[in-house]
């Protein structure tokens, strides 16, 4: 920033190498750092014309983290380092002298003792908040800056006493001691729980470490001609151009984002009638700030999140970083920056987080449902993260985490204000609501990063943590009751509200003309850039014609996984399927299967036509039979009565199909080899559907996939049955081209892949099951264990979310290499849920796969990842 002419207070940086050394050997780090630090301080003193530790006009510094990847609010900062009681009067002179100067100097010293105590020595917050509350009450004022000098002096004495009591030693009045301790505290905060959680959530490596920036202090708290603020170069919620931020006059550092005082807007046109905007109060600084924003955006090619301070009317930029933004904003900003000539489409693709595209496809409040909820509206706050969310009220992060883990349904985190300690709860919440704080408060920033709907600064909200309830608009709701927030309007409602399709999905389904949706325009523009650049194919996992149509509109190049078992659930189909399971012999099974054939053929025809001309991978029946049988004696007897079967036979068959470990039981191709008539029926349905689709003028391209193969002979025998049926169906007519392949989801299949590949046309890696069997992790049973492992650093990621490179990835590599060696034409894809995860997509590309397959709404993200 200094180099491009932005007004930054001078300073120097201690690199991440020192952080790493500090982690291994703190003493060595201290010894090596000391002389370099001394030299850097000397140069800073010369430039500022002030000396560190000097009394009449002391140089004060801020000590801030500087991690390679921004982790807003997660790392520690200590301001005002270098103050001592001896220099108090000298500092007061800088604050304009007189009573105002004295109050400024005392304010700085109070901030140092509190911040240093908290960050460096872990002194409990109440040590400082309790005496302050008492002082404010005694003086009858709302904020400390309104206290008289004497009260501030008494408060300072109380702070220093409290510090000494809590730590067992007096506050260090040696500026160099303060500086070293602050630097080490920033290093240490890299390993703090908040920072570690944040890194896990955002996939930031643990060994990067943080740098430390030591800068000359500038003061936003010298009085009404000074201020401090935070400002985005564009609106981070919508992407709309123009400065978007907040400030507080006579304030310092964290105050704006901490939510303790509700700040005022930067721009005049966004100001509420009650407060004065920065633009009005500091017109010259505002113009300079706007110029700085443009300069920084041009330099970094992205939206900036800028921290600034005005000292006696003069603007200083303290920090800038990439701005967190919602998915909608990311999309708009990327398109706008391309149009403004600031970035290329390549850069735009890299700038939009593939996962954030999902936000444009997430459900929004149903229009009618929202209208009906109007009588239940409790209050309105600031719209800080768009989207609608309903959930059970949770009044702290721990409760939110526990309820989310227990599957108690969506949770809405409701807090006075959030702090970095709440990060885990925010990550699992369906929505976030705070009573205080502005559009750049911690809650708002984190919510946008996570893509979680958020309303902040809802001042009508009263939270009673003791009684575990909240009140607003004259109503009371207990923790656990339902609440809804509209993060686009700021409205808060009692109860739940129905959701509907997002704008983009409405366009796709034809409910909204494309021209009426700017979001759709940008969405399709980005996807077409991605399509031109993608380096691995993207298909969809789709089981219904609707899903297939949507997936195609979202850019899918085919279906990678069509699960046929879903077609057997529900109503008459389930009844017929159960008859098949309960049949005592092959003839009975064949009769029941014949009844199922027309339904399945009809489904297949519609899906093939929805994906006309593109491949559709249809997986044969996969789950164990007992999943289709009634659960419990009561349901069994009801079914028996309905189907006219002896209830004892039904119960006996249920007992017979019960498995100790169904995941490793009789399912997939094993079922088909025990009851080949099932394969025959499904293959017939596929080929007859393809014939009908062709007769209707289509170009169907079915790929039949055999699940759970572990032995080459399983795949080859199943293929023989399938080919036999194809011969019969296409007899006397033009045959339709089709492929037969297998899922690779049993570890052994990967190990003997060469012999499987020789007789088949494609492999599709079923990475859900492959991960289960490779790790020996049942998804149903080990969710809490995996969370524990990730928290403890035993696993870097949940292997069900991000493909495991070392284990599962190694098997995929073995299978891909030996499969291609045996059959160079072999088509390779992945159909597990990993297909929608950007890092997993990158690994698939590295492993040489031809395509990934993801659920329809994750297709755009996968396509974007494929282009990155």
Nearest to 422 by CA among 391, 454, 390, 383: 454
**Interface ranges with a copy of itself (CB under 8 A):** 659-666, 670, 673-674, 708, 710-711, 713-714, 717, 745-748, 751-752, 755, 769, 772-778, 780-782, 785, 788-789, 792-795, 804, 806-808, 810-811
Q: Which is nearer to a copy of itself, 374 or 780 (CB)?
A: 780
Q: Which is nearer to a copy of itself, 233 or 772 (CB)?
A: 772
Contacts of 138 (CB under 8 A, 6+ apart): 151
Least gap, CB of 816 to a copy of itself (angstroms): 15
Q: Which is nearer to a copy of itself, 424 or 756 (CB)?
A: 756
Q: How far is CA 44 from the centre of its chain?
A: 40
Least gap, CB of 667 to a copy of itself (angstroms): 9
Residue 849 to residue 827: CA distance in whole angstroms: 8
Residue 327 to residue 863: CA distance in whole angstroms: 15
Q: Could you say which of 19, 458, 831, 844 is catalytic?
A: 831
SS3 content of the chain, % helix, strand, coil (to 5): 50, 15, 30
Dump strand ranges (E) for 597-714. Answer: 615-619, 701-706
Nearest to 423 by CA among 404, 396, 405: 396
Residue 503 to residue 488: CA distance in whole angstroms: 13
Q: Which is nearer to a copy of itself, 37 or 679 (CB)?
A: 679
Least gap, CB of 813 to a copy of itself (angstroms): 10
Q: How far is CA 656 from the centre of its chain?
A: 44
For the chain, what's the residue count? 868
What ranges in 2-87 are assigned the alpha helix state H? 16-24, 26-48
Nearest to 354 by CA among 867, 840, 865: 865
Least gap, CB of 807 to a copy of itself (angstroms): 4
Least gap, CB of 771 to a copy of itself (angstroms): 9
Residue 608 to residue 559: CA distance in whole angstroms: 9
Residue at token pair 């979001």: 519
Least gap, CB of 585 to a copy of itself (angstroms): 16
Contacts of 660 (CB under 8 A, 6+ apart): none
Residue at token pair 């240093």: 116
Q: Which is nearer to a copy of itself, 268 or 787 (CB)?
A: 787
Task: Give yes or no for a contact between 239 and 336, defined as CB atoms under 8 angstroms apart.
Answer: yes
Q: Is 442 a catalytic residue?
A: yes
Least gap, CB of 401 to a copy of itself (angstroms): 17
Q: Could you say which of 22, 442, 626, 834 is catalytic?
A: 442
Q: Which is nearer to a copy of itself, 136 or 810 (CB)?
A: 810
Q: How far is CA 420 from the centre of its chain?
A: 16
How many Cβ atoms sit within 10 Å of the Cβ of residue 97?
12
Least gap, CB of 798 to a copy of itself (angstroms): 13
Nearest to 541 by CA among 764, 379, 350: 764
> Which residues sit opposite 500 in a β-bridge?
364
Residue 272 sits at φ, ψ, to 5 deg, of: -75, 160
Nearest 5 degrees, angle CA 364-CA 365-CA 367?
Answer: 120
Task: Give yes or no for a contact between 63 and 319, defined as CB atoms under 8 angstroms apart.
Answer: no
Q: Which two tokens stand for residue 298?
A: 């041009």
Q: Which is nearer to a copy of itself, 401 or 450 (CB)?
A: 401
Task: Give yes or no for a contact between 478 and 464, defined as CB atoms under 8 angstroms apart.
Answer: no
Q: Which two tokens stand for residue 771?
A: 């991960």
Distances (CA, A) of 440 to 45, 265, 284: 34, 10, 23
Least gap, CB of 434 to a copy of itself (angstroms): 34
Residue 761 to residue 755: CA distance in whole angstroms: 12
Residue 221 to residue 226: CA distance in whole angstroms: 6
Q: Is 458 a catalytic residue?
A: no
Least gap, CB of 493 to a copy of itself (angstroms): 36
Q: Which is nearer to a copy of itself, 20 or 663 (CB)?
A: 663
Least gap, CB of 719 to a copy of itself (angstroms): 13
Residue 16 to residue 72: CA distance in whole angstroms: 17
Least gap, CB of 403 to a copy of itself (angstroms): 17
Task: Give yes or no for a contact between 657 and 629, defined as CB atoms under 8 angstroms apart.
Answer: yes
Nearest to 600 by CA among 628, 639, 572, 581: 572
Q: Which is nearer to a copy of itself, 467 or 659 (CB)?
A: 659
Nearest 5 degrees, angle CA 153-CA 156-CA 157?
Answer: 90
Nearest to 669 by CA among 679, 677, 682: 679
How many Cβ atoms sit within 10 Å of the Cβ of residue 435?
22
Q: Which residues are part of the catalytic machinery?
A: 442, 831
């Amino acid at each position: 920033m200094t180099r491009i002419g932005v007004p930054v207070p001078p300073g120097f940086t201690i690199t991440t190498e020192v952080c790493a050394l500090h982690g291994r050997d703190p003493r060595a780090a201290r010894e090596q750092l000391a002389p370099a630090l001394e030299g850097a301080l000397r140069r800073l003193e010369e430039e500022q014309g002030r000396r560190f530790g000097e009394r009449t006009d002391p140089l004060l510094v801020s000590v801030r983290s500087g991690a390679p990847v921004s982790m807003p609010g997660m790392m520690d900062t200590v301001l005002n380092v270098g103050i001592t009681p001896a220099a108090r009067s000298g500092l007061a002179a800088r604050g304009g002298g007189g009573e105002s100067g004295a109050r400024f100097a005392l304010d700085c010293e109070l901030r140092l003792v509190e911040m240093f105590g908290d960050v460096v020595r872990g002194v409990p917050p109440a040590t400082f908040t309790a005496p302050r509350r008492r002082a404010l009450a005694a003086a009858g004022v709302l904020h400390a800056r309104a206290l008289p000098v004497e009260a501030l002096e008494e408060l300072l004495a109380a702070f220093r006493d409290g510090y000494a009591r809590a730590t067992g030693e007096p506050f260090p009045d040696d500026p160099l001691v303060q500086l070293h301790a602050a630097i080490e505290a920033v290093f240490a905060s890299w390993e703090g729980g908040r920072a570690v959680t944040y890194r896990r959530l955002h996939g930031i490596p643990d060994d990067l470490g943080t740098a430390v920036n030591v800068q000359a202090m500038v003061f936003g708290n010298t009085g009404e001609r000074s201020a401090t603020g935070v400002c985005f170069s564009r609106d981070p919620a919508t992407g709309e151009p123009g400065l978007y931020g907040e400030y507080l006059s006579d304030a310092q550092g964290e105050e704006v984002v901490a939510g303790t005082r509700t700040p005022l807007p930067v721009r005049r046109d966004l100001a509420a009638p009650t407060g004065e905007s920065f633009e009005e109060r500091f017109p010259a600084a505002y113009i300079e700030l706007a110029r700085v924003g443009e300069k920084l955006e041009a330099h970094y090619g992205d939206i900036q999140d800028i921290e600034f301070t005005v000292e006696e009317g003069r603007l200083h930029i303290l920090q800038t970083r990439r701005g967190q933004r919602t998915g909608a904003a990311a999309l708009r900003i990327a398109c706008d920056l391309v149009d403004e000539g600031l970035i290329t489409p390549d850069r735009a693709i890299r700038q939009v987080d593939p996962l954030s595209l999902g936000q444009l496809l997430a459900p929004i409040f149903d229009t009618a449902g929202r209208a009906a909820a109007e009588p239940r509206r409790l209050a309105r706050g600031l719209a800080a993260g768009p989207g609608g969310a309903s959930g059970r009220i949770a009044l702290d992060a721990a409760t939110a985490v526990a309820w989310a883990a227990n599957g108690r349904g969506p949770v809405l985190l409701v807090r006075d204000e959030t702090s970095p300690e709440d990060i885990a709860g925010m990550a699992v919440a369906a929505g976030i609501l705070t009573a205080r704080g502005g559009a750049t408060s911690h809650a708002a920033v984190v919510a946008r990063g996570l893509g979680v709907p958020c309303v902040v600064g809802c001042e009508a909200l009263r939270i009673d943590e003791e009684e575990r309830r909240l009140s607003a608009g004259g109503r009371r709701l207990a923790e656990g009751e339902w609440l809804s927030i509209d993060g686009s309007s700021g409205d808060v409602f009692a109860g739940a509200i129905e959701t509907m399709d997002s704008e983009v999905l409405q366009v796709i389904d034809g409910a909204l003309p494309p021209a009426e949706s700017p979001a759709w325009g940008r969405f399709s523009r980005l996807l077409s850039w991605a399509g031109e650049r993608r380096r691995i194919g993207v298909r969809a996992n789709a089981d219904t014609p609707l899903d297939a149509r949507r997936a195609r509109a979202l850019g899918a190049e085919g279906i990678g996984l069509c699960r046929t078992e879903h077609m057997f659930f529900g109503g008459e189909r389930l009844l017929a399927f159960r008859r098949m399971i309960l049949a005592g012999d092959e003839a009975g099974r064949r009769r029941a299967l014949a009844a199922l054939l027309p339904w399945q053929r009809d489904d297949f025809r519609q899906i093939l036509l929805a994906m006309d001309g593109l491949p559709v991978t249809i997986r044969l029946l996969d789950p164990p039979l007992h999943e289709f049988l009634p659960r419990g004696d009561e349901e069994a007897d009801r079914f028996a009565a309905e189907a006219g079967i002896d209830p004892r036979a039904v119960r006996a068959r249920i007992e017979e199909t019960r498995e100790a470990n169904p995941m490793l039981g009789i399912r997939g191709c094993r079922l088909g080899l025990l009851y080949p008539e099932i394969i025959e029926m499904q293959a017939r349905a596929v080929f007859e559907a393809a014939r009908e689709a062709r007769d209707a003028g289509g170009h169907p391209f079915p790929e039949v996939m055999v699940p759970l193969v572990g032995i080459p002979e399983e795949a080859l025998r199943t293929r023989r049955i399938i080919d036999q049926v194809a011969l019969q169906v296409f007899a006397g007519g033009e045959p339709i081209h089709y492929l037969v392949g297998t899922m690779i989801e049993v570890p052994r299949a990967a190990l003997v892949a060469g012999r499987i590949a020789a007789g088949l046309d494609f492999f599709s890696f079923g990475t859900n099951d492959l991960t289960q069997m490779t790790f020996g992790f049942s998804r149903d049973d080990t969710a809490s264990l995996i969370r524990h492992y990730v928290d403890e650093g035993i696993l870097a990621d949940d292997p069900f979310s991000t493909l495991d490179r070392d284990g599962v990835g190694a098997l995929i590599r073995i299978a891909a290499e030996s499969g291609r060696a045996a059959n160079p034409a072999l088509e390779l894809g992945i159909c597990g849920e990993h297909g929608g995860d950007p890092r997993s997509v990158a690994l698939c590309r590295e492993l040489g796969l031809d395509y990934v397959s993801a659920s329809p709404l994750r297709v755009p993200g996968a396509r974007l990842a494929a282009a990155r």
